Structure 1
Amino acid sequence: MIWILSIFTLCSANASGLKTNFSTKESYDLLFGEDSTIHATTHITNIIRNGTEDLTTSEIKNLEQLGILSQNREISTFTPNDLVQVFESEHFRFHYTNEGTNAVSDPNYIFQMAEVFEEVYSFYIDTLNFSAPVSDPESDDTLYDIFVENLPTYYFGITYTKNTSVSSPACVSYIKMRNNYNGTQFSEHTELENIQVTAVHEFFHAIQFSYNCYERFWFMEATAVWSEDELYNNVNDHYRYISSWFSNINKSLDDESSHMYGSFIFFQYIDEHLGGPNTIRLCWEKSHELASPIQDNSIESINAALSDLGSSFEETYLRMRIANKIMNINAGLYSYEEADGYRSAGGYPLEKDIFYQKGIPQEDTYLSLDLFETIYYKIRTSDPVKIEIIPYENNLSMTSIAKLKDQDQWLIKSGNEINIDTEMDLEWITLLISAIGFEENNWDYTIELRDGFSEDFSLKKPFPNPSFGKPITINLEVINGQEIATTIYNILGQKVWVHTKNYTGSQFNNLIWDGLNMNGKRVSSGLYFIEASGEEKTLRHKIIFLKDE
């Protein structure tokens, strides 16, 4: 069985402006030189997209072992001609054999695989409403083809694209699965678990190809790894990417080395805090709308999806980077449900130590921070410290995280100048510098550390503001124990709501105002003022309360 990919498509893809972190030669070397398990789809697709001009004659010949023919810059893909047995389930057609190199020793293996693929289909297509893989117009039915064969030693599975004429930017695909997962290289999981994570990973690639056949590999692989845990939450094969990803935390989120597999954590953060798996589907729907063979729109697609939910790529990216340091199940907006598992797998960012002593200014310079990279600093000091980033640019974001000792509470500040008051009983202080925006660039910066000051207490900006019918959260960060009265006034200066508390030591406190006055009646929409008064100072913020009509 031979399927032809035309020379026209190859030229078009090869001329594209889509960037990758690896050439077709590097893909070839990974496909034939790896001595550990590999997801081969990315590298097969890279060769199909960009051709074999970088390869030698013998290397091109070796591609035939993977079902790829290249003659006169024309690429064709093929499957073994000895897969004479066929089993059909509701949505899939499995091609296999009971004899020879590609033999399946037990027919129950195929039946088990079919059950898994149907489970994957039901979950992602029927339940979560992702688009099904586009049907092959050259086929007599809509069944999706899966070929079960003796893949190279370290391959889980492969999803191939075809050049059958369908509406752009979609493309037809098919999957190759192993005829067994008995090797020691797969021994961390049972055979069923290996089938499960491979089936969901490769089928999610098939789904992706139905949305956008041009999409960048980092977006494809990060969401494919995310899809594994979304359905098979207890297998945790994705944990194997965590240690390497956090050890290279300064790499860009859209880096397309093996780092991209660990970037699933970005989409996991979106899943948990911004609308669940429906938002991941929306990201792919936006990818379909913005698809281009000559321009990378991966970040723009995600940003468009998040904008529909009142957020943005930049905001989500920065929050994810904070969550990656805190790594706690009780951190609210910065939590992960599997934080304990991530941490046990190596989920803690590497940090550069900076020691600060009162009266001795310090500075640290970093050169060429790439877009969507983040550098973490461990600030070691017992004295209040003020930190400034120079130069201050919109593309550089500075955030500090200070954890209260023996409490699941964290003080988070952002800006080009941050004061950290160590009179609070702090367990650790971390500083994050991130490059954000949509400009392809890199940046040099210097952080300067000088003597800081005691803040007594602080009143953070209330949120949401305007409220749009939601309760308003008021954050108080108390450094020195004292009584603090928090009062809300209307524009006439009349008291609407009062909360008084005696704080016995350093702590954070979230107050919630639900729009009711002291008589329990809902106030009118309009402008209000929050005032927090302690022993030494008074702080104020404006809020706009809007009732849910």
Structure 2
Amino acid sequence: MQVITIHVITLTIIPDCRMPGNHRRDESMKRSLALVSSLLLVFSGIALGDTAMDRIISALGSGEFTDAETVDLLIQSVVDWDNLPDRFTEGTESVPCGTPAMLEAVRLGIDSPLANRPPLSGPHYTFDSPDGYFKIHWTDSGADAVTLSYATTVAVAADSSWQVECTEMNFITPPPDNMVGGSNQYDIYIIYLGGGTLGYCSPSGEFQPPDSTQACSASHIVIGSTISGWGQRVCTMAHEFQHAIQFSYSFEEGTWFMENCAVWMEEMVYPDVNDYLPYVQYGAGALRTPWYDIRSAAMYWYGAFTWPWMMWDRWGYESVREIWEICADVAGSNLEPAHEQMFAGHGSNFESIFMQYGLWRWFTAANWFAGCGMYNEEVSTWTPGPRVLPYHNTATLPFSGDQTTTYKPDYLGIHWIKVDLSSYQNDWIQMAFDGYDNLQWNMGVIMQDLSGRFYFNWYACDPTSGDITITVGADGWDYAIFFPAFMTNYPMNHNYTFEITSLGTGIEGSPSNTDLLNLNVSSNPIQTGDYVTFDLPSAGNANILIYDMSGRVAATLINEELQEGSHSVQFDGSDLSSGTYFIMLFANDRISTRKVLLTR
């Protein structure tokens, strides 16, 4: 037995012992699984919904259709839904964005006039948007008919999208279309779209700059003619224009990240509309179905805008743009190295940021507080919030369970396992986890104090046995949240068992010292000139931020490389008003907070 002791948290890795009722291991499977690589980002979404596109792609995979027939069906699912065969429409989920289906059709490599610029059902009118960036194509007759007021709303929303996304956020502007639409302005068409589709962006039939080193393409946007609500109409425009920008970098990248970013961009352009909220409140998404692969397709990818939102909130929108810029540097699909390179520029890596993503998603809805340092106050509206399965929620120990039959974690999926500590305040709590052998598992731990404090750390399980035992002190904490993460890109055996027990008070050391960073202040209330103290278990970057009650970063105390050991930094509140603040320390993949009152 190998025992690793870190301050007062003990990690016990047990290579040979099995927990009761655990699964048998197949030796030949062990040898083959040793070759499975982990932490790979694929470039198209993992299908999980029941949409027309899913059914069409499935039929292609079973050999029912040729590539050419599949292309026509995919395009028809967007532009001619009403005439799509019933087998692809009955009982399916409505998909608001038709861009992924159009993109899949383009990627099959067969030209289809249906994917090119659409004809209109009546007289073809055009006008320029107020800022002159766009040419709007519309009609007032036939199935595609809209009013001039409707078309003007689209034009103004397009200009607003350009202003925010290109001028303010400095995303690349779409390349000119080589006069395909009669000018080099960006062309937007307003037509009837059925099946719940609100709009789409297509690179089909468009000019692709010959000197581009990546899959850069011009494109056109189509907006549905029957979007009744102003908010939904303008957010659809912001969403689809983000796709046009993405095609300017590379249209070969994964549609899952394209949709993540497009929904996030709705908030960037129209922060007061919040048309995205249903994606996070209902159905599949990063909060309600955290066991899904974060690269999953419709409908998950709409409710997974939280991934780029986290990057924006932590490092600014430039971090999301940087991923697209890296993708543009090399031809082909480059999302994996692009994410890794961006994270490396911030002193981290994909694995660590993914584990922190489990923490960030936890502090949403009712769990959010101003000093948590994650997202912003708007996330308190992301109700009902992070989903804890009833099989993973307890106030009584001992407590045991597994991955469940229905909700097994995908690759890059997690489960939150929540323990109410109110009856165990003087105890040590032990989580004994056993994941399937020879697969990579990680375990995140959140200690939550409802008064406005938390501590986070994560650990890698034994790579051979999948085991880890973590012991935490309950004193002063309201909840312990453990979240196992499946980190091997392998389609089978996502099985685990766990047992959580109370060990009483028989372990040497104080249960209140669970926080390895030992973040503290010399006095509270605090004043300028007082000290913030902390420990680093190992050398690395230490970043201390001060958050006000709105969740805004009010000051940075330190952001530099430090040696292992105890440290102190002088608190400077000279530019801050009196009031309540939260001190947050990021160090060594750990995060700790402290609530303070500033007086003068």
* Residue of structure 2 aligned with 1:152, choices 194, 218, 240: 194
* Residue of structure 1 aligned with 2:237, choices 175, 178, 199: 199
- Alignment-derived partner of residue 268 in structure 2: 230
- Alignment-derived partner of residue 299 in structure 1: 336
SS in 2 for 1:452: strand
TM-score when normalising by structure 2: 0.64
- Given that residues 520 and 533 in structure 2 are in contact (C-alpha distance below 8 angstroms), is that contact kept between their aligned partners in structure 1? no
SS in 2 for 1:137: coil
* Residue of structure 2 aligned with 1:410, choices 454, 477, 500: 454
- CA separation in 1, counterparts of 2:187 and 2:309? 30
What is the CA-CA distance between 1:334 and the residue it aligns to?
3.5
* 1:159-218 CA-partner distances (Å, limit 9, x unpaired): 111243423411221011133423xxxxxxx32x22210110000010011111111111
- Given that residues 44 and 255 in structure 2 are in contact (C-alpha distance below 8 angstroms), is that contact kept between their aligned partners in structure 1? no
- CA separation in 2, counterparts of 1:282 and 1:177? 28
- Alignment-derived partner of residue 348 in structure 1: 386
What is the CA-CA distance between 1:486 and the residue it aligns to?
10
- 1:530 is aligned with what amino acid? S
Q: Does 1:371 align with 2:411?
A: yes
SS in 1 for 2:433: strand
Q: Does 1:177 align with 2:177?
A: no
SS in 2 for 1:44: helix
SS in 1 for 2:242: helix
- Given that residues 370 and 441 in structure 1 are in contact (C-alpha distance below 8 angstroms), is that contact kept between their aligned partners in structure 2? no
- CA separation in 2, counterparts of 1:286 and 1:442? 34
Q: Does 1:446 align with 2:497?
A: yes
- Given that residues 369 and 442 in structure 1 are in contact (C-alpha distance below 8 angstroms), is that contact kept between their aligned partners in structure 2? no
- 1:429 is aligned with what amino acid? A
* 1:4-41 CA-partner distances (Å, limit 9, x unpaired): xxxxxxxxxxxx98565236446849653257462112
What is the CA-CA distance between 1:270 and the residue it aligns to?
1.0
- CA separation in 2, counterparts of 1:86 and 1:365? 56
SS in 2 for 1:334: coil
- Alignment-derived partner of residue 282 in structure 1: 322
- 2:431 is aligned with what amino acid? I
- CA separation in 2, counterparts of 1:38 and 1:487? 50
- Alignment-derived partner of residue 306 in structure 2: 265
Correspondence 1:143-542 to 2 at 5 A: 143-152=185-194, 154-163=196-205, 164-166=207-209, 167=212, 168-182=214-228, 190-191=229-230, 193-243=231-281, 244=283, 245=285, 246-273=287-314, 275-292=315-332, 296-327=333-364, 328-343=368-383, 346-351=384-389, 352-353=391-392, 355=394, 362=400, 364=402, 369-380=409-420, 382-383=423-424, 384-390=428-434, 395-404=440-449, 406-415=450-459, 416-424=468-476, 426-436=477-487, 443-452=494-503, 454=505, 455-456=509-510, 457-458=512-513, 460-462=515-517, 474-475=518-519, 529-530=565-566
- 2:351 is aligned with what amino acid? E
- CA separation in 2, counterparts of 1:443 and 1:129? 42
RMSD: 3.7
What is the CA-CA distance between 1:268 and the residue it aligns to?
0.8
- Given that residues 442 and 487 in structure 2 are in contact (C-alpha distance below 8 angstroms), is that contact kept between their aligned partners in structure 1? yes
Identity of aligned residues (%): 18
- CA separation in 1, counterparts of 2:184 and 2:113? 26
- Closer, same or farther: CA 173–108 of 1 in aligned 2, 3 Å: same
- Given that residues 403 and 409 in structure 2 are in contact (C-alpha distance below 8 angstroms), is that contact kept between their aligned partners in structure 1? no
Bigger-Rg structure (1/2): 1
- 1:475 is aligned with what amino acid? L
* 1:88-108 CA-partner distances (Å, limit 9, x unpaired): 231111111233332223x23
Q: Does 1:38 align with 2:96?
A: yes
- Given that residues 171 and 321 in structure 2 are in contact (C-alpha distance below 8 angstroms), is that contact kept between their aligned partners in structure 1? yes
- CA separation in 1, counterparts of 2:197 and 2:562? 62
- Closer, same or farther: CA 81–370 of 1 in aligned 2, 3 Å: same
- Alignment-derived partner of residue 85 in structure 1: 125
- Alignment-derived partner of residue 134 in structure 1: 175
TM-score when normalising by structure 1: 0.69
- Given that residues 443 and 483 in structure 2 are in contact (C-alpha distance below 8 angstroms), is that contact kept between their aligned partners in structure 1? yes
- 2:433 is aligned with what amino acid? I
- CA separation in 2, counterparts of 1:133 and 1:179? 24
- CA separation in 2, counterparts of 1:267 and 1:531? 33
Unaligned runs of 5+ in 2: 1-41, 48-53, 59-72, 82-88, 460-467, 522-530, 536-555, 569-586, 589-600
What is the CA-CA distance between 1:284 and the residue it aligns to?
0.8
What is the CA-CA distance between 1:336 and the residue it aligns to?
3.4
- Closer, same or farther: CA 220–35 of 1 in aligned 2, 3 Å: closer
- Alignment-derived partner of residue 100 in structure 1: 142
* 1:374-401 CA-partner distances (Å, limit 9, x unpaired): 1111225634321133359793221222
- 2:474 is aligned with what amino acid? T
Q: Which moved more, 1:242-251 or 1:377-386?
A: 377-386
Q: Which moved more, 1:449-458 or 1:296-305?
A: 449-458
* 1:242-297 CA-partner distances (Å, limit 9, x unpaired): 13223322111111131011110111111111x211111111112222441xxx53
- 1:39 is aligned with what amino acid? C
What is the CA-CA distance between 1:127 and the residue it aligns to?
1.2
SS in 2 for 1:145: strand
- Closer, same or farther: CA 132–24 of 1 in aligned 2, 3 Å: farther
- 2:204 is aligned with what amino acid? K
- Given that residues 175 and 202 in structure 1 are in contact (C-alpha distance below 8 angstroms), is that contact kept between their aligned partners in structure 2? yes
- CA separation in 2, counterparts of 1:312 and 1:282? 15
* 1:281-316 CA-partner distances (Å, limit 9, x unpaired): 111112222441xxx532332222222222322222
- 1:131 is aligned with what amino acid? I
* Residue of structure 2 aligned with 1:49, choices 75, 97, 107: 107
SS in 2 for 1:411: strand
Specify which structure has the bigger relative contact order, considering alpha-carbon pairs within 8 angstroms and separated by 6 or more residues.
Answer: 2
What is the CA-CA distance between 1:527 and the residue it aligns to?
5.7
- Given that residues 459 and 475 in structure 1 are in contact (C-alpha distance below 8 angstroms), is that contact kept between their aligned partners in structure 2? no
SS in 1 for 2:103: helix
SS in 1 for 2:478: strand
- CA separation in 2, counterparts of 1:317 and 1:356? 28
- Closer, same or farther: CA 45–452 of 1 in aligned 2, 3 Å: same
What is the CA-CA distance between 1:118 and the residue it aligns to?
1.0
- Closer, same or farther: CA 436–475 of 1 in aligned 2, 3 Å: farther
- Given that residues 355 and 458 in structure 2 are in contact (C-alpha distance below 8 angstroms), is that contact kept between their aligned partners in structure 1? no
- 2:359 is aligned with what amino acid? I
Number of residues of Structure 1 aligned to a counterpart in Structure 2: 434
- CA separation in 2, counterparts of 1:453 and 1:429? 16
- Alignment-derived partner of residue 65 in structure 2: none
What is the CA-CA distance between 1:372 and the residue it aligns to?
0.8
What is the CA-CA distance between 1:68 and the residue it aligns to?
5.5
* 1:333-359 CA-partner distances (Å, limit 9, x unpaired): 33433121113xx2222333355866x
SS in 2 for 1:159: strand
